[in-house]
Amino acid sequence: MLVNEFLEDSADAFPNKTALVCSGKKLSFLEIEHLANRLSNALIDLGVIKQDRIVILLEASVETVVSIFGILKTGGIFLVINPQVKANKIKYILNDCQAKALITDANHFKDLSAVTSECPTLETAIIVGYDQTEEKMHKMEMPIIHSYSEILDKYSIDRPQKRCIDIDLACLIYTSGSSGIPKGVMCTHQNVVSAASSIIEYLENTPEDIILDVLPLSFDYGLYQVLMSFKFGGTVVLEKSFLYPYTIIDLLIKEKVTGFPIVPTIVAILLSLKDLERFDFSSLRYITNTAQALPPRYITKLQQIFPGAKVYSMYGLTECKRATYLPPEELDKRPTSVGKAMPNTEVYLIDKNGKEITKAGEVGELLVRGANVMKGYWNLPEETERAYKPGPIPGEKVLYTGDLFKMDEEGFLYFISRMDDMIKTGGEKVSPKEIENVLYQIDDVNEAAVIGVNDDILGQAVKAFVVLKKKSELTQEDIIKYSSRHLENYMVPRYIEIRDKLPKSSHGKIAKKELK
């Protein structure tokens, strides 16, 4: 199966069913199919060949969804870049993937005009909201500019012929590497189909589901909400940001949303609102969380606000999309676990010598096997070799996640730390996560992040950054006192810094690398 068939099959099966709700517009599967076919026919006519890379630089919008499927139908590889990314990094990505075409809007194109001349492979730009009177655009020699709406009007709604097979690449998803240089994860059609099918299976999605997607589509978690919903014939409600909690609440209720994927930052924002209990969220069937674990205190509050919703704690990384999930019925029993392998995926832990760990409590690196394990990093053979290593079957590649976990007696997994983030203090290995869990138990602590800082005597010393509730009078001493009652001595933070906020990635994840 190919990823574009998610749309094509649903357009055949449920042509008039609402597929997408976005900025007050509702579009059926057939409407999107026709728009995507038009775009695809246009791109083919403009010279796009199989496996060309085409960059989408747009806010979450109808045009983004149409572009994703339109590009796939040409046999091309799509990349979604968050429009908040700055021009220099966009230039880096355009050149790294040797993009042939760019689909963006007039505003973002203007911001990019200084760098597009330094992107030699970029032949075509398709501009949403193209302004004919904009002189600067006319003067440009390369890329050749086309208006999105004009080309859509001009080309046919006929579905183009299939141009690739399922081992071809469907998309590149750029993630920030530890070196700070973005790496493009290569995802084949088969990888995406496999990951989407497994997730749909455990979430028990049906065409009746309505998903609210407030996450950026440059982020695999946000992107897959769209892809999966098209696969199972559901409805996806796109909102370009989670910054405005009331907008989210309004959509949850008005659109009778059944599935709400979140990250912990969204919960922190929602919980800052008063009287959430007064709203009727009875249509909500499930909430999913990934990217960063939900503090158990948040889980309890979520269950109070959304009493009818199952909460799924999940774990994965772009390199395999998703690896594990915790069945919601296990949540009360093991709130800090991310569960077991998802369907059609195998996970296991290995020790320092590469031997499989079978004993409960022992810490090791998590490995992932499955058709969801991506093909590696674009143009980075060495980095690819470090993460994707030979597996049990000749020729097979297994993903080395670089994340440390332990299992309990029944095989449920618990995240310990990124291997790079483990703190070594006074000869002891300390998991920042374990300390953060304790800090999150303090009622006044809204956010916590723990790192190791250089220390002459200890090697590294534990430092905690905390964001407190508004008007909290909690002091550093109070936090240290609480920590020392709940943690071994060597784990108690040496330093506590109380901050108004913590640096975040564009996905809402705490950016620990920026903390010192």
Partner 1 sequence: MGKRNKNSESDIKKVLIDFINESFLPSSGLDSFEDSDSFMDKGIVDSTGVLELLEFIEDSFDIKVEDEEVIPDNLDSLNKLTSFIKGKCINAGK
The DSSP string of 180-232 is: SSEEEEEEEHHHHHHHHHHHHHHHT--TT-EEEE-S-TTSHHHHHHHHHHHHH
Considering the complex, what minimum distance in angstroms separates the CB of residue 265 from partner 1?
A: 5
- Cβ at position 83, least distance to partner 1 in Å: 6
Is position 240 an interface residue for partner 1 (rule: CB under 8 A)? yes
**Tokens representing 381?**
């053979």
Residues with Cβ within 8 Å of 431's Cβ and at least 6 positions away in sequence, in order, are 404, 416, 417, 422, 423
The answer to whether residue 498 forms part of the interface with partner 1 (CB under 8 A) is no
Q: Of the two residues 98 and 113, which places its CB atom closer to partner 1 in the complex?
A: 113
* CA-based nearest residue to 22, from 315, 220, 235, 261: 235
Contact (Cβ atoms closer than 8 angstroms) between residue 236 and residue 19: yes
Q: What is the DSSP letter of 511?
A: -
In the complex with partner 1, the residue whose CB is nearer, 265 or 372, is 265
Q: Which residue in 120, 110, 114, 19 sits closest to 65, CA to CA?
A: 19
* Among 256, 495, 506, 513, interactor with partner 1 by CB under 8 A: 506
Asked if residue 265 binds partner 1 (CB under 8 A), the reply is: yes
Residue 244 contacts partner 1 per CB under 8 A: yes
CB 350 within 8 A of CB 370: no
**From candidates 95, 107, 175, 303, binder to partner 1 by CB under 8 A:** 107
Binding status of residue 24 toward partner 1 by CB under 8 A: no
Q: Any contact of residue 261 with partner 1 (CB under 8 A)? A: no
Window of 239-247, 285-293, 427-435, 474-482 that interacts with partner 1 by CB under 8 A: 239-247
Radius of gyration of the chain (CA): 23
Q: In this chain, which stretch among 35-43, 201-209, 415-423, 500-508 interacts with partner 1, using CB under 8 A?
A: 500-508
**Closest CB to partner 1 among 86 and 139?**
86
Residues 274-293 that bind partner 1 (CB under 8 A): 274
Q: Round to whole Å and give the CA distance between 121 and 118.
A: 9
Residue for token pair 């499927």 = 69
Using CB under 8 A as the binding rule, whether residue 508 contacts partner 1 is answered as yes
When binding is defined by CB under 8 A, the residue of 246, 456, 477, 485 that contacts partner 1 is: 246
| 180 makes contact with partner 1 (CB under 8 A) | no
Choosing from 69, 130, 219, 242, the residue that interacts with partner 1 (CB under 8 A) is: 242
Smaller CB separation from partner 1, 68 or 266:
266
Contact range with partner 1 by CB under 8 A, out of 174-182, 221-229, 480-488, 498-506: 498-506
String of DSSP letters for 399-434:
EEEEEEEEE-TT--EEEEEEGGG-EEETTEEE-HHH
Q: Per rule CB under 8 A, is residue 149 in the interface with partner 1? A: no
Helix, strand and coil in the chain, % to nearest 5 = 35, 30, 40
Whether residue 15 is preceded by a cis peptide bond, meaning omega within 30 degrees of 0, is no
- What minimum distance in Å lies between the beta carbon of 46 and partner 1? 27
Per CB under 8 A, the list member of 393, 470, 473, 477 interacting with partner 1 is 470
Number of H helices, E strands in the chain: 15, 26
C-alpha–C-alpha distance, residues 98 and 109, integer Å = 18
Stretch that binds partner 1, among 160-168, 366-374, 455-463, 503-511 (CB under 8 A): 503-511
Q: Which of 245, 296, 328, 402 binds partner 1 (CB under 8 A)?
A: 245
The single residue among 15, 503, 513, 515 that binds partner 1, judged by CB under 8 A, is 503
Whose structure tokens read 């993903």?
A: 399
Residue in 306, 35, 51 with CA at minimum distance from that of residue 155: 35
The answer to whether residue 436 forms part of the interface with partner 1 (CB under 8 A) is: no
Regarding 440 and contact with partner 1 (CB under 8 A), the answer is no
Contacts of 201 (CB under 8 A, 6+ apart): 342, 343
For the purposes of burial, counting CB atoms within 10 Å of the CB of 288, is it exposed (0-12), middle (13-18) or buried (19 or more)? buried
Distance separating alpha carbons of residues 425 and 438, to the nearest angstrom: 18
**86 part of the interface to partner 1, by CB under 8 A:** yes
Note whether 379 binds partner 1 by CB under 8 A. Answer: no
Q: Which is nearer to partner 1, 245 or 296 (CB)?
A: 245
Q: Which is nearer to partner 1, 15 or 503 (CB)?
A: 503
Q: Determine phi and psi for 55, rounding to 5 degrees.
A: -95, 135
Site for partner 1 in 39-68 (CB under 8 A): 59
- Structure tokens belonging to residue 164: 């690739």
Closest contact distance (angstroms) between CB of 503 and partner 1 is 7
Please report, as ranges, the residues that interact with partner 1 according to CB under 8 A.
59, 83-84, 86, 107, 240-247, 265, 268-269, 272-274, 467, 470, 500-504, 506, 508
